[in-house]
Amino acid sequence: MEKWWKKSVVYQVYPKSFMDSDGDGTGDLKGIISKLSYLEDLGIDVIWLSPVFASPMDDNGYDISDYLSINPLFGSLEDMTHLITEAEKHNIRIILDLVLNHTSDEHPWFIEGRKSKDSPTHDYYVWAKEPNPLISVFSGSAWEFSPETNEYYLHLFSKKMPDLNWKNERLRQDLYTMMNQWLDLGIAGFRFDVIEYIGKEPQAMVTANGTQLHPYIKEMNKATFGKRNTLTVGECWNVDFAAAKQYSDPDGSEFSMIFQFDHMKIDWDDQLGKWKPKPLDFVGLKKSLSHWQNEMMGCGWNSLFWNNHDMPRIISRWDDDLTHPVEAAKLFATISYFMQGTPFLYQGEELGMSNARYTFLDQYTDVETLNAYQDLVVTRKLMTEQEFMGSAMRFGRDNVRSPMQWNDKKNAGFTTGTPWLPLCANYQTVNAESQIHDKESVFSFYKQLIAIRKHSAYSDLIEQGTYTLLEPDHPQLFAYERRFKNKGLLVLANYGTVPLHHQIDQKIVKTILSTRPQKIESSVDLMPYEALVLEIEI
Ligand code: NOJ
């Protein structure tokens, strides 16, 4: 089967914040349809649609109460099929975000299952007589008491998100049937939420990477998407190279690719994780990304990303003061887009949107942030309120979920009503309308990058070429080479606030992309955050 996704660029839509068509302050499917031309113009091939299924929205849709219906907040099933067919007209495919590790506690399976041990769906969930010390990703014990059967149920996320028991054969078959229904409707694949947990063995304190994980994935692949021409990507926070190769084995027995997060955990504290971030280890970041490039070459496939709905906006992450927002946005894009893998772009990244920086706790709606505050500040007193709020402004997930900035008018053109989350204050200067026709904008830069990846003399090289990190220990320069057949590429990026003089040893053929017009000979002065891509002779 043709691996079309190797040359594709995926764009993540977070539906609540993308485009509101009916003035209720929340984005919706009709809103997405109205922006398909914008996405086609950008050049993306696939939309990863964060969950739009029926849900009480405890975790903005990652708590599904019916896999086969659409949350009325976002529209109807008819809107969904309309989105699929309209997107096709714009050469865009849709992949759905499927949460198969847990459901909402308002899913009929759980509502019925919790009533009695004899209920046919009781065993669809994970129960224990006594809780063990497992901790939820969203803070506190991972077990919640359920009085009807006098047992505890497992929730690796919020209490309203009970974990599914994949050991139950009927549950697995029900999930596969549901997935096939979506595939029949014209869906081009799936992003699998925290898929690494489905093989959990909670009694043994095992959550990720249980022994049955890969057998389950292989079974699901065979029963559903494996025979179709899909893009599948698994979210895996705890993964080594060997497992990553298995997940993305070119034999097609599991997924097309996974998201791994080594480069995204680089500034996390050992104990308090993202709530107590460390300064960026730039050399470590280069080495991590480069390792993944080299390890997966020829035997797996990388996804390339800096952002998603859980991660801070990359330009805000290591530079809260945003000294060079436009240059930084272009620099991070350049570093990633010439690597091997499939790029994933999170809505607004193509405009250089920054974190919204919500300052007060009552501006946050995100269950993870609010639970972490309760746990770290109130209950365990491991952080002061001030310390926590400092981290929340950077890592609190609402900061990356602020509404899309379409123009400089009221509510940035996102809604005619009251937006569910306040706009980021910079929408009058950072917005789509002002960038689409500006050749120097971040949007135009992304357009250029995407076109180079997809339809240029360098497309095959970017897809297949070897990768070598140059000057690995340089604290400011990210430089790498790609080579394929008779062509070579040199990527140079100055991640620093001072200029950098760099001697170019390779013979230059021409400049492929630069963030600043200049004549390049045997050496170059890279300005702060400047990025440059050259074709070199090999
Ligand atoms: C990962 C998703 O990306 C995140 O947004 C969600 O909260 C958890 N999984 C739980 O579903």
- CB distance 136 to 157 below 8 Å: yes
- Identify the residue whose C-alpha is closest to ligand 1 atom 2: 193
Instruction: Read off the pLDDT band of 490 (50, 70, 90).
Output: very high
Query: 429 CA to middle of ligand 1, Å?
Result: 31
**Ligand 1 contacts CB of residue 306 (under 6 A):** no
Using alpha carbons, select from 536, 499, 497 the residue that is nearest to residue 520: 536
Residue reference for tokens 């204050």: 425
48 lines ligand 1 (CB under 6 A): no
With H, G, I as helix, E, B as strand and everything else as coil, classify residue 339.
coil
Q: What is the pLDDT of residue 2?
A: 87
Is the Cβ atom of 310 under 6 angstroms away from ligand 1?
yes
Identify the bridge partners of residue 146 per DSSP, sorted by sequence position: 151
Q: Which of 193, 366, 398, 530 is catalytic?
A: 193
CA of 50 to the centre of ligand 1 (A): 10
pLDDT in tens, 274-289: 999 999 999 999 999 9
| Longest alpha-carbon distance in the chain | 77
* 336 pLDDT above the threshold of 90: yes
CA–centroid distance, 62 to ligand 1, in Å, is 6
Give residue 396 CA to ligand 1 midpoint distance, Å.
Answer: 13
What gap in Å lies between CA 342 and CA 216, rounded to an integer? 25
Tell me what pLDDT residue 517 has.
83
Question: DSSP alpha helices (H): ranges in 185-247?
Answer: 213-223, 241-247
Residues shown for the chain: 538
The distance from CA 78 to its chain's CA centroid, rounded to whole angstroms, is 27
**63 noted as active-site residue:** no
pLDDT one-digit tens code per residue, 463-477: 999 999 999 999 999
- Whether 193 sits among the annotated catalytic residues: the reply is yes
- Residue of 12, 14, 55, 62 to mutate, ligand 1, most atoms within 8 A of C-beta: 62
- According to the model, what pLDDT value does residue 321 have? 84
Q: What is the pLDDT of residue 400?
A: 98
Strand 487-494 relative to strand 531-536, pairing: antiparallel
Residue nearest to atom 5 of ligand 1 (CA): 310
Environment class of 85 (CB within 10 Å of its CB; exposed 0-12, middle 13-18, buried 19+)? exposed
Residue 24 is classified by DSSP as S
- Indicate if ligand 1 lies below 6 Å from the C-beta of 59: yes
Contact between residue 535 and residue 508 where contact means Cβ atoms under 8 Å apart: yes
Give yes or no for a contact between 230 and 219, defined as CB atoms under 8 angstroms apart. Answer: no
> Taking the chain, what is the end-to-end CA distance rounded to the nearest angstrom?
32
| pLDDT tens, position by position, 48-103 | 999 999 999 999 999 999 999 999 999 999 999 999 999 999 999 999 999 999 99
Pairing of strands 531-536, 303-304: unpaired
Q: What does the pLDDT read at residue 320? A: 80
Residues of the chain above pLDDT 90, percent: 98
Q: CA-CA distance, 19 to 135, in Å (whole number)?
A: 36
| 346 touches ligand 1 (CB under 6 Å) | no
CA of 100 to the centre of ligand 1 (A): 11
**pLDDT for res 82:** 98
pLDDT band of residue 319 (cuts 50, 70, 90) is confident
Q: pLDDT for 6-46, tens place per residue?
A: 999 999 999 999 999 999 999 999 999 999 999 999 999 99
The one-character DSSP state at 274 is T
Handedness of CA 253, 175, 9, 286 (dihedral sign): negative
Residues 6+ apart with CB under 8 A from 430: 325, 351, 352, 353, 354, 405, 424
What pLDDT is attached to residue 72? Answer: 98
* Residue 430 predicted with pLDDT over 90: yes
